[in-house]
Amino acid sequence: MSGGTGQEPVFDFMVVRPPDSVDSGTLRMHYIHDDTYRSFDTAVRREPRDLHTEAGGSAIGHLVFSRVACAPEAAEQTEAERLALLLDEVLDLVPPCADPCRGSGLTTRGSSSQPLQWEELDRYATVVRNGRIHVLPDRLDLLPPLPLLAGLGRVLDVLAAEGADPDLPRLVERLEKLLGAPLTDIVFAPSGAHTDDFAAAKHRLFDTLYLLYVLRRLATVSLERIIDGLRALHVLEALAVDLSVARIQARGTATRNEQILLAALEEDHPGLRGWDLRSAVPGFPLIGDTSALGRHLTATPVIHPVFARLLRYLRPFNAIKPIGVGDLKVVRQWLVAYRPGEISHIHNVLSGESKTRRHRRTERAEDTFSASESGSRDTTRDVQSTQRFEVKDEAEAVVKTTLGVTANATVTYQGTPVVASLTAGFAYNRASEDTAKTSRNFARDVIDKAVSRVASQTAVQRTTTRLTETEESNKQVFANSTGGHVSGMYRWVDKVYKAQVFNYGKRLMFEFLVPQPAAAWADAKLRAFTTALSVPQPPDPPVYDVPNIPAPETITAASYRGLRAEYDLEALPVPEDRKTVALRDLVTGSRYFAEKEISGADHSKVFECRGAGIGGYRAVRVDFFGYGEFKSKAPKNQMALEIADRLVWQETRPDVGYWHLDESVAPREDLVFQDDDTTLRLRFWEEIDYYDASAVLYLELTEQRRQKWQQDVHAVVKAAEEKKTRAVNQARQAEYERRLADYRDRLATLKSATVSVVLQGTSDAADKAVMDEEIKKHCLTLITKEFDSDGADDLLPRTTAMKTRKVTPVDTRFEFQENQEPGTGLPLPPTTARVETKARDEVDWPAIDIDAARAQGRMVQFLEQAFEWEHLSYLFYPYFWAEMPRWLELMGRSDDADPAFTAFLRAGMARVLVAVSPSYEDAVLHYLATREPWSGGPAPVIGDPLFVPLHEELRAQTDDRLGGTPDGPAWTFVVPTSLVYLHDSTDKLPDLRKERAEAAKAEQDEAAQAAADEKNGENP
């Protein structure tokens, strides 16, 4: 129905079923069988009975069957080599039209007496092999002459001229005049069998069809003209049958020859069996109407599978079979009427009562998140509305929540559920009536559940209205002046719908069971994660600085100056190598040591001295000054000078009373000072009256003192360096510990990341794309035997369409020349620019391998187009269908945001339904048998037992949802709404039927007026 009826799709589903059986009448009408010859004997072996050959033999049939079934396989030959030899032998059946290498010219063409011209060769399907040119007989005029074949082209012209609605008696008259004999005599012999001419013509056409079907692997061949010839014979046979039956029917009796013919017709046409000659069947009993003639004209020849599969006939490439036919069905609903339902409210007004009612409705909502906010909305409404597509929404929800619990209603096609009324393989056990009943029951069940949910929602809405906080503020005045009590009843309004299941076309369906569908994706995801993962590495231990301390023995006066600039060495000046120091009395601080009024002999006194800076020095010379006076000039007047208990000087001055000293002597004993304090001892023998002396030391730095100074400086430098280095090392240690803690934190974070987290999806759309892509790849593996565990027979992975070629790239860039500054006060010279091109190192540049790309592209294009991958349907079975060691791993996978993706990750097995693209059925089945894509042009039907029923089912392809075919009767259901209606109101509920009829009539009137206006405009 059109959109003007208000029809809306509620939900879609697909019913997968076995193909319907084809009755004999349909088989005879739609398909052309090579049933002229029923046996073929050769010296090699008896061929199967379904190879139809004439008594003289069929060269193409004998050759193909003998090479496929009888010829031994050579172990050293590949399948491609054996196929090439077979094609060469088949090509030898076509005589060459020219052999330029042997000097032969072009021969005549088929039944035509005109020789071929060289410039005409491009108009024919030709194969050049071994220097010879073979013209393939893909046209009727290229076939060897036969009496009936010569007129088939004109028969086709007559049939085309009659058009789609011919006058059958006139058509028969024209054909008989064209062929020069009655159709019954042309087709049937008195014995009831086909005439020799008819049988030879049909046999020749079928043999040519077999030949072309094999040689299409070598050249682009059109089969249409040969098939048209077979269709012409098919029509002639059908008309001859009609004429024979009509003649017998008109006479009421049959002659002896007619009885033989009738028996033969009943054998070939089961519909005639038991036919009562007395029954009046108007017109031609087999054709009956002109549309049947059209079906005869579009009949398809059926050929034996051996000619399509050749070497693959006994050993098909892939043994999978289609599971059946998928019918896309849509449940559509349309609104029929509105009707009052249950009572919603009764408003009573007593006699003479006047009542005022104010109504104010307030709705408040408050949501609390991390912070609180509140909002209020006040609305005052006098109108009510209802959702238009509530049943559609609820039906979709029912489908999503209820489907998936069984294996027969769990997957989707084009976003729709699939109701599979059969199991895998060919165990068809349900009739088409049961399948249709199943689909209708499924549709009704979903609608019933959806309506129940809508009713539940409506009931909840009514209850919720009573619980809503309301404040009555609207003013309404009820004045009862009728003289009696009044009760105003408000009733709910219900919608009355009708629903209908529509069939929107068929698809050839395949079913696959895929083990662990997520295995490859999960492994690749984990590998990519570990490859791209930035695994933290432990930090290197810090390299501690070592104090840069000079060795004590290397510290000199020269190096001291540098050290003093860096370190605090004020207290450690460089000691002088030599110095002069005058000793001083520690008590008086005077440099003179004196004593007066001395009494007694042998006087000796020790003075405590302070020598500034004499510690660590050795006295190499002592200057001794002084004077004194002995009390007598005794002969033994001796005096001595000791410093630090070491004898420095001693002298005897006999007979001298007063004495004066100015001595410069070297110490008699080694005189080394350990510190700055020392002693000076003056000793006199005999009696001394007084004395006054001083001592000046000439010192030389001792090695011990020098080493002590070096040690002290070294100690200061060492302490400073160690302090500085310790601070640096402590900072490095702290940084190392910080980095080590960060490493451990990051590593702990990575360790906490489970495989389940890594495998989680991103969004519903992205997860769906991943599942579709993986399921598609697995299906392609099962279809093509590519990407499987055995790579020996792979074609696609071994075909490298992208290779490399050596290229020396050039680099073009702008170069700027900035001139030097000429000098102070002068303007800068201008900066110049130029384009400079330089050649870089040779690189490998990606490049297409044309031959490989063509071969790979041909296969890829076929596989992408031959199946409706965008409408994959699949169901995931639980984890326990995988091998037991992987159960724990699969059970641990989850994606909390996407349950469907969780099922994909955990699945131990997946059931997949794939639909074949319309018009690709022949090519797909041919590929499964031969591994050859693109079977090439419109092909005859392959004679497999299952093929003809499938082909018959799919003759009328998808409807594209333009109209659809009703499937079963429509049914009515009621949907409650939240609208209310005043009982016995003068405004009646809308009459939708009447409104739609008026709208349809208005559309017709407008269309008629537009047509009239257009006609008047063309013919004023």
Q: What is the pLDDT of residues 610-666, one digit of tens each?
A: 877 888 899 999 998 988 888 777 777 788 888 888 888 888 877 777 888 888 888
For all residues of the chain together, what is the average pLDDT? 76
Q: Going by C-beta distance under 8 Å and a sequence separation of 6 or more, which residues neighbour residue 28?
A: 268, 269
- Residue 434, pLDDT score: 52
| E-state strands within 64-115 | none
Q: Are 359 and 473 in contact (CB under 8 A)?
A: yes
Instruction: Look at the block and give the residue holding tokens 């987290």.
Output: 757
At 443-481, the pLDDT tens digits run: 766 766 666 665 555 444 444 444 555 555 555 666 766
Residue 685: both structure tokens together:
């023998």
Q: Residue 277 has what pLDDT?
A: 43
Least confident segment among 85-99, 235-249, 935-949, 988-1002: 935-949
What is the tens place of the pLDDT at every residue in 293-319?
A: 777 788 888 888 888 888 888 888 887
CB 637 within 8 A of CB 689: no
Residue partners of 296: CB distance under 8 A and separation at least 6? 29, 231, 234, 235, 238, 287
pLDDT over 70 (residue 25): no
Tell me whether residue 728 is in a domain.
Answer: no
Mean pLDDT of 827-839: 81
Q: What digits encode the pLDDT tens for the residues 493-511? A: 888 988 888 877 778 888 8
Asked whether the predicted pLDDT for residue 482 surpasses 60, the reply is yes
Whether 939 contacts 474, CB under 8 Å: no
Residue 872 lies in a domain: no
Euclidean distance between CA atoms 475 and 840, whole angstroms: 90
Residue 230 pLDDT grade (very low, low, confident, very high; cuts 50, 70, 90) = very high
- Residue 806 near residue 844 (C-beta atoms within 8 A): yes
> What SS3 state is found at 156?
helix
573: DSSP letter: P
pLDDT band at 733 (very low <50, low <70, confident <90, very high): very high
Interval 576-587: pLDDT, tens? 889 899 999 888
Binning pLDDT at 50, 70 and 90, where does residue 384 land?
A: very low
**Averaged over 673-686, what is the pLDDT?**
87
Q: pLDDT tier at 943 (50, 70, 90 boundaries)?
A: low
Determine contact, residues 95/106, Cβ cutoff 8 Å: no
The residue with tokens 């219900």 is 494
CB neighbours (10 Å) of residue 794? 14
Does residue 147 lie within any of the structural domains? yes
696, pLDDT greater than 80 = yes
Domain coverage including residue 30? 20-77+138-312
- Percentage of residues in the chain with pLDDT exceeding 90? 9
Closest CA to 688 of 600, 561, 578, 818: 600
Question: Is 149 inside a domain boundary?
Answer: yes
Cross-strand partners of 607:
680
Rounded to an integer, what is the distance from CA 313 to the centroid of its chain? Answer: 37
Tell me, yes or no, if the pTM score tops 0.75: no
Give the list of residues 6+ apart from residue 531 with CB closer than 8 angstroms, or none. none
pLDDT digits (tens, 9 = 90+) for 251-266: 666 676 666 766 666 6
Phi, psi of 195 (to 5 degrees): -65, 160
* Any domain includes 215: yes
- Give me 768's structure tokens: 């769906």
Does 583 map to a domain? no
Q: What is the pLDDT of residues 545-576, one digit of tens each?
A: 888 888 888 888 888 888 888 888 888 888 88
Check residue 357 and give its pLDDT.
64
Is residue 189 in some structural domain? Answer: yes
Is residue 526 within 8 A of residue 755, CB to CB? The reply is yes
End-to-end CA distance of the chain: 37
Residue that wins the pLDDT comparison between 460 and 145: 145
pLDDT of 904 over the 90 cut: yes
CA–CA distance, 679 with 642 (Å, rounded to integer): 8
Classify 679 as helix, strand or coil: strand
| More confident call, 115 vs 328 | 328
Q: Please give the single-letter amino acid code of residue 624.
A: F
For a pLDDT cut of 70, what percent of the chain falls above it?
A: 71
Domains held by the chain: number:
1
- Chain segment 395-433, per-residue pLDDT in tens: 555 554 444 333 333 444 444 455 544 333 333 333 445
Per residue in 1006-1017, pLDDT (tens digit) is: 888 888 887 676
pLDDT for 993 beyond 90 = no
Predicted pLDDT at 565: 85
Say which range, 147-156, 355-364, 561-570, 845-854, has the weakest mean pLDDT: 355-364
The tokens describing 478, both together, are 């009820």
From the list 350, 316, 586, 356, the residue with the least C-alpha distance to 484 is: 350
Cβ-in-10-Å burial (0-12, 13-18, 19+) of 924 comes to buried
In a domain, 494, yes or no: no
pLDDT at 972 over 70: yes
Closest CA to 299 of 958, 946, 948: 948
- Distance between CA 632 and CA 290 in Å, rounded? 185
| Contact criterion met (CB below 8 Å) for 286 and 266 | no
**More confident: 72 or 649:** 649
